[in-house]
Amino acid sequence: MVELKKCFFTGEFINMKVSTRVEYGLVAITDIVLHSEKGKSVSAPEIAERQHISHKYLEQILLLLRQAGFIKAQKGLRGGYALCCPASEIRLSDVLNALDGSILSGMEEDDAGDLRSVINKCFWNRINSNLKEYAENMKLSEFAAQCQNNLPESWDLYMI
Protein backbone atom coordinates (compact mmCIF):
# COMPACT_ATOMS: atom_id res chain seq x y z
CA MET A 1 0.00 0.00 0.00
CA VAL A 2 1.37 3.41 -0.90
CA GLU A 3 1.64 5.33 2.35
CA LEU A 4 -0.58 8.38 2.54
CA LYS A 5 -0.39 11.03 5.26
CA LYS A 6 -3.20 11.76 7.63
CA CYS A 7 -5.39 14.70 6.85
CA PHE A 8 -4.35 17.67 8.99
CA PHE A 9 -7.95 18.78 9.43
CA THR A 10 -9.75 15.51 10.09
CA GLY A 11 -6.98 13.26 11.42
CA GLU A 12 -8.14 10.56 9.02
CA PHE A 13 -6.29 9.07 6.09
CA ILE A 14 -7.08 10.51 2.70
CA ASN A 15 -9.92 8.57 1.05
CA MET A 16 -7.94 7.57 -2.02
CA LYS A 17 -5.51 4.83 -1.08
CA VAL A 18 -3.44 3.38 -3.87
CA SER A 19 -2.46 -0.24 -3.40
CA THR A 20 0.68 -1.76 -4.85
CA ARG A 21 -1.64 -3.82 -7.06
CA VAL A 22 -2.89 -0.61 -8.70
CA GLU A 23 0.56 0.97 -8.81
CA TYR A 24 2.26 -2.11 -10.29
CA GLY A 25 -0.68 -2.84 -12.58
CA LEU A 26 -0.47 0.62 -14.09
CA VAL A 27 3.29 0.24 -14.44
CA ALA A 28 2.91 -3.21 -16.06
CA ILE A 29 0.30 -2.23 -18.63
CA THR A 30 2.21 0.96 -19.49
CA ASP A 31 5.36 -1.13 -19.92
CA ILE A 32 3.47 -3.41 -22.29
CA VAL A 33 2.25 -0.41 -24.31
CA LEU A 34 5.76 1.04 -24.53
CA HIS A 35 7.55 -2.23 -25.34
CA SER A 36 5.13 -3.97 -27.67
CA GLU A 37 5.29 -3.01 -31.29
CA LYS A 38 2.92 -4.32 -33.94
CA GLY A 39 1.48 -7.01 -31.70
CA LYS A 40 4.85 -8.10 -30.29
CA SER A 41 4.45 -9.58 -26.84
CA VAL A 42 6.36 -8.65 -23.70
CA SER A 43 7.30 -11.38 -21.24
CA ALA A 44 6.49 -11.15 -17.56
CA PRO A 45 10.14 -11.73 -16.54
CA GLU A 46 11.18 -8.77 -18.74
CA ILE A 47 8.58 -6.52 -17.13
CA ALA A 48 9.48 -7.73 -13.63
CA GLU A 49 13.20 -7.11 -14.23
CA ARG A 50 12.74 -3.71 -15.87
CA GLN A 51 10.28 -2.44 -13.30
CA HIS A 52 11.73 -4.13 -10.18
CA ILE A 53 8.52 -6.00 -9.39
CA SER A 54 8.37 -9.51 -7.94
CA HIS A 55 7.69 -11.89 -10.84
CA LYS A 56 5.22 -13.91 -8.77
CA TYR A 57 3.25 -10.80 -7.74
CA LEU A 58 3.38 -9.43 -11.28
CA GLU A 59 1.80 -12.62 -12.62
CA GLN A 60 -1.15 -12.10 -10.26
CA ILE A 61 -1.58 -8.55 -11.52
CA LEU A 62 -1.27 -9.59 -15.16
CA LEU A 63 -3.98 -12.18 -14.54
CA LEU A 64 -6.33 -9.40 -13.38
CA LEU A 65 -5.54 -7.35 -16.48
CA ARG A 66 -6.10 -10.43 -18.63
CA GLN A 67 -9.41 -11.27 -16.99
CA ALA A 68 -10.53 -7.68 -17.55
CA GLY A 69 -9.82 -8.08 -21.26
CA PHE A 70 -6.97 -5.58 -21.61
CA ILE A 71 -4.15 -7.99 -22.34
CA LYS A 72 -3.78 -11.46 -23.79
CA ALA A 73 -1.18 -14.10 -23.07
CA GLN A 74 0.74 -15.59 -25.97
CA LYS A 75 2.47 -18.92 -25.51
CA GLY A 76 5.58 -20.13 -27.22
CA LEU A 77 9.19 -19.12 -27.67
CA ARG A 78 8.30 -15.46 -28.19
CA GLY A 79 5.41 -15.60 -25.76
CA GLY A 80 4.38 -12.99 -23.30
CA TYR A 81 1.66 -10.39 -23.02
CA ALA A 82 0.20 -8.00 -25.56
CA LEU A 83 -2.75 -5.65 -25.59
CA CYS A 84 -6.07 -7.11 -26.76
CA CYS A 85 -7.03 -3.86 -28.46
CA PRO A 86 -5.27 -0.60 -29.33
CA ALA A 87 -4.20 1.48 -26.32
CA SER A 88 -6.19 4.35 -27.81
CA GLU A 89 -9.37 2.38 -27.06
CA ILE A 90 -8.59 1.76 -23.38
CA ARG A 91 -9.51 4.36 -20.78
CA LEU A 92 -7.22 4.75 -17.79
CA SER A 93 -10.28 4.61 -15.53
CA ASP A 94 -11.16 1.15 -16.86
CA VAL A 95 -7.68 -0.13 -16.01
CA LEU A 96 -7.79 1.39 -12.53
CA ASN A 97 -11.26 -0.06 -11.88
CA ALA A 98 -10.12 -3.51 -13.02
CA LEU A 99 -7.25 -3.39 -10.55
CA ASP A 100 -9.24 -1.89 -7.67
CA GLY A 101 -12.91 -1.05 -8.06
CA SER A 102 -12.89 1.40 -5.17
CA ILE A 103 -10.10 3.71 -6.27
CA LEU A 104 -12.30 6.03 -8.31
CA SER A 105 -15.32 5.91 -6.03
CA GLY A 106 -16.28 9.08 -4.26
CA MET A 107 -16.39 9.66 -0.55
CA GLU A 108 -19.57 9.01 1.33
CA GLU A 109 -21.79 12.02 1.74
CA ASP A 110 -21.86 13.23 5.32
CA ASP A 111 -24.53 15.79 6.10
CA ALA A 112 -23.47 16.28 9.71
CA GLY A 113 -22.88 19.99 9.07
CA ASP A 114 -19.65 20.08 11.04
CA LEU A 115 -16.31 21.37 9.80
CA ARG A 116 -15.05 17.86 8.99
CA SER A 117 -17.96 17.10 6.63
CA VAL A 118 -17.63 20.52 4.98
CA ILE A 119 -13.90 19.95 4.40
CA ASN A 120 -14.62 16.49 2.97
CA LYS A 121 -17.19 17.99 0.63
CA CYS A 122 -15.12 21.03 -0.41
CA PHE A 123 -11.69 19.42 -0.60
CA TRP A 124 -11.44 15.62 -0.64
CA ASN A 125 -14.56 15.01 -2.74
CA ARG A 126 -13.28 17.59 -5.22
CA ILE A 127 -9.89 15.86 -5.45
CA ASN A 128 -11.59 12.48 -5.97
CA SER A 129 -13.87 14.00 -8.59
CA ASN A 130 -10.91 15.50 -10.48
CA LEU A 131 -9.04 12.19 -10.38
CA LYS A 132 -12.08 10.35 -11.70
CA GLU A 133 -12.59 12.88 -14.51
CA TYR A 134 -8.90 12.72 -15.45
CA ALA A 135 -8.89 8.91 -15.54
CA GLU A 136 -12.13 8.71 -17.53
CA ASN A 137 -10.86 11.15 -20.17
CA MET A 138 -7.32 9.76 -20.44
CA LYS A 139 -6.66 7.00 -22.97
CA LEU A 140 -3.92 4.51 -22.19
CA SER A 141 -2.07 5.54 -25.36
CA GLU A 142 -1.99 9.20 -24.26
CA PHE A 143 -0.92 8.22 -20.75
CA ALA A 144 1.90 5.99 -22.03
CA ALA A 145 3.07 8.75 -24.40
CA GLN A 146 3.16 11.25 -21.53
CA CYS A 147 5.14 8.79 -19.41
CA GLN A 148 7.57 8.10 -22.25
CA ASN A 149 8.10 11.82 -22.84
CA ASN A 150 9.10 12.25 -19.19
CA LEU A 151 11.59 9.38 -19.13
CA PRO A 152 15.33 9.96 -19.63
CA GLU A 153 16.72 8.85 -22.98
CA SER A 154 18.49 5.88 -21.37
CA TRP A 155 15.30 4.45 -19.78
CA ASP A 156 14.99 1.65 -22.34
CA LEU A 157 18.49 0.22 -21.92
CA TYR A 158 17.55 -3.22 -20.63
CA MET A 159 19.80 -6.24 -21.07
CA ILE A 160 19.54 -9.86 -20.05
39 Rama sector, left if φ>0, alpha if ψ -120 to 50, beta otherwise: left
Rounded CA-CA distance 71/147 in Å is 19
The band of 8, judged by pLDDT with boundaries at 50, 70 and 90, is: very low
Predicted confidence (pLDDT) at residue 158 exceeds the cutoff of 70: no
Calculate mean pLDDT across residues 21-46.
93
Determine contact, residues 74/82, Cβ cutoff 8 Å: yes
Rounded CA-CA distance 76/40 in Å is 12
Q: Is residue 13 part of a domain?
A: no
Q: What is the model's pLDDT at position 117?
A: 83
Percent of the chain with pLDDT over 90: 56
Q: Is residue 42 part of a domain?
A: yes
Predicted confidence (pLDDT) at residue 86 exceeds the cutoff of 60: yes
Residue 80 bridge partners (DSSP): 74
The band of 160, judged by pLDDT with boundaries at 50, 70 and 90, is: very low
The band of 19, judged by pLDDT with boundaries at 50, 70 and 90, is: confident
Closest CA to 143 of 44, 35, 33, 56: 33
Predicted confidence (pLDDT) at residue 10 exceeds the cutoff of 70: no
Q: Is residue 14 part of a domain?
A: no
Q: What is the model's pLDDT at position 7?
A: 43
Q: Is residue 102 part of a domain?
A: yes
Number of domains composing the chain: 1
CATH number at residue 79: 1.10.10.10
Predicted confidence (pLDDT) at residue 59 exceeds the cutoff of 70: yes
Calculate mean pLDDT across residues 58-77.
94
Name the residue with higher pLDDT: 109 or 143. 143
Q: Is residue 2 part of a domain?
A: no
Q: Is residue 8 part of a domain?
A: no
C-alpha 39: how far from chain center: 21
Q: What is the model's pLDDT at position 128?
A: 84
Q: Is residue 7 part of a domain?
A: no
SS3 label, residue 147: helix
Rounded alpha-carbon distances, angstroms, from residue 63 to 21, 22, 25, 74: 11, 13, 10, 13
SS3 label, residue 81: strand
Q: Is residue 103 part of a domain?
A: yes
- What is the domain extent for residue 39? 20-156
Calculate mean pLDDT across residues 131-159.
85
